[in-house]
Amino acid sequence: MSPDLWMLLSFAVLLVIGVPVAFSLGLAGAVGIVTGLSPAMLATLGTNTYNSVAKYPLIAIPLFILTGLVFERAGVAGRLVRFAQALIGPRHGGLAIVAVLACMIMGGMSGSGPADAAAVAMVMLPSMTRAGYPRPFTATLIAASASTAILIPPSVALILYSIVVPGVDLRALFAAGLFPGILAGLALMVPAWLLARHYGWESPDNTPRPPLGESFRQAVPALFAPVLILGGLRTGVFTPTEAAVVAVAYGVVVGLWLTRELKWRDLWELLGEAAVISGVVMLIIALAGIFAWSGTMLGVFRHLGEWVIGLTDNGLLLLLLIMLAVLAAGMLLDAISIYLILMPILIPVMQHFGWDPVWFGILLAMNIAIGQFTPPVAVNLMVTTEVAKVRLEQTVDWGLVFVLAMAAALALVVIFPSIALWLPERLGYH
């Protein structure tokens, strides 16, 4: 058996028997080195793991993770929900629309779907349950809405994509994700509103409307966060990595002195929590470096790319097949693992068919977003079902509805690339 097959087969077997993704990547890379190169080349393991994480843009990942945790603890989600309720007003499906809006705005601060889902679910679940929404529906809607965090800047997944794919400007990716993220949110609002009207959830007569002026004043610090991050990037005041530092500092100021729900003693706990989450992410990236180096030296990725290209000459059909494959991967793996595993294979395919790398990155992100609330893994859904105290299998029927809605938004971005590319081109990033 060839070294290529040894490497890929060992990776598949390790995943199947339950070995964590990070160690599966590292061990499979080591198998490729031993079978295809030389056992003496195992001496490169340390260098490869270090080189994988010794990249300046990666500093933004732990900082944006910390930003999300700080804003969650600062009580921002509750203020955003109150403001959205004041905007939407009492109506059938109003709370469902509020949940989607709150997730989208929170996504503009955290860049993380699970963090977004946890913050909004804690606030929205009690009020939606009192209004008559079934808990499985609420858990599924919030999980699906939180997946827009992978698209709406700042996105941790898009930061990694800009590092994995050479020559892609992170500012262009951030700008390109904005309209598809909004489109995905709107696509989720439609079935949520229709289902609420069909089943008679949420009587408008019994739903109080918060005062608009007061709720807006309380939400201003939260609403200003995305403006600060994107405005600073647009004007060139700071780089994407520096934007992450500014976001953390702003979140601390908001929590300590504006909302006053964050205490000094909480910061140490949040730093520790962010360190643990970031450590897991960085471990995956580090051990994936072994897999990437081994695969490149053996020509595994080149061979797989040539095989994918040889499947069909029809670029649209091949794109559809790739999207289905990424969707299936998104149901099992996290976004970071998917980018690290698939992009070395897909970059030659993307170049062969002349697909725009920014547009292609957004398509991948939208696919992965769907996977975040599609069982069996469904990281966002695991968070919301835990908050709602419902079983994962109770959400499947509702989940299919929102998968179809997000798939429709994805199809529009495939057919009309300008949905993603107009803004970065307008801003001069692309």
pLDDT digit string, tens, across residues 206-224: 667 788 888 899 889 888 8
| DSSP code, position 27 | H
Tens digit of pLDDT for each residue in 111-160? Answer: 677 878 888 888 888 889 988 899 999 999 999 999 998 998 888 889 88
How much is the pLDDT for 301?
A: 84
Dig out the tokens for 2 from the structure. Answer: 């060839």
**Structure confidence at residue 244 (pLDDT):** 85
Residues of the chain with pLDDT under 50: none
**pLDDT of res. 356:** 95
- pLDDT of amino acid 332: 76
Provide the pLDDT for residue 16. Answer: 87
The structural domains of the chain, with segments of one domain joined by +, span 56-427
pLDDT at 206: 60
Dihedral angle over CA of 197, 200, 203, 207, nearest 10: -70
Sign of CA dihedral 416, 117, 377, 133: negative
> Is-contact 6 294, C-beta < 8 A?
no
Question: Which 3 state secondary structure label does DSSP give 333?
Answer: coil
pTM of whole model > 0.75?
yes
- Return the pLDDT at 137: 96
Peptide bond into 57 cis (omega under 30): no
